Amino acid sequence: MTVDTTTRPAPEEHAPYYGKYIALVEEATALDALERQMRDMLALLGGVDEARGAFRYAPGKWSVRQLVGHVIDGERVFAYRALRFARGDRTSLPGFDENPYAEAAGSDRRTLRSLVEEFEVVRRASLALFASLEPEAWLRRGVANDQEVSVRALAYIIAGHGRHHAQILRERYRLGG
């Protein structure tokens, strides 16, 4: 079976909530988007000094370090879902609440540099996972958080989620000039 992996996910391949992330992906393929978004995030965060990592743009909002930790956690969860579904596992997977994850992660006790390095390692692992998939695996689906989602949609969600948070870092945290 040959599947065109450059085809964007159809609306029925993901919960409506994720459409906002998928819409941010402008590249021809999810792999291109994941690669470009990684370079963008690394460039954006590469010149940020450690003191700025504690910055919060408003009371009760995450720090820069917590936001990067959230992107890492989200990517791990989405990639894990993609792996399970790509391998034909039809076990329904639970959702995850990003706020308790951010609280428990301890990102504010780490250096921003260590988080940026971890982001790169996690993204390279995601790229390797998606690049290794047989074409038909991209169309496999599973249920996560009571919603059906395809492997293809998960790749686009990861890229769009990262892009969404890079935009927040630029606009609300005023990073990247």
- Tell me the fold of 16-171: Four Helix Bundle (Hemerythrin (Met), subunit A) (1.20.120)
**pLDDT above 70 (res 3):** no
The pLDDT value recorded for residue 1 is: 46
The pLDDT value recorded for residue 70 is: 98
Indicate left, alpha or beta for 84 from its phi (over 0: left) and psi (-120 to 50: alpha): alpha
Tens digits of per-residue pLDDT, 60-111? 999 999 999 999 999 999 999 999 999 999 999 999 999 999 999 999 999 9
The pLDDT value recorded for residue 5 is: 61
Tens digits of per-residue pLDDT, 45-63? 998 999 999 999 999 999 9
Q: Which of 6, 10, 30 is nearest to 163 (CA)?
A: 30
Locate the domains of the chain by residue range: 16-171
> Residue 4: how many CB atoms within 10 A of its CB?
8
pTM for the model: 0.95
**pLDDT above 60 (res 4):** no
**pLDDT above 80 (res 116):** yes
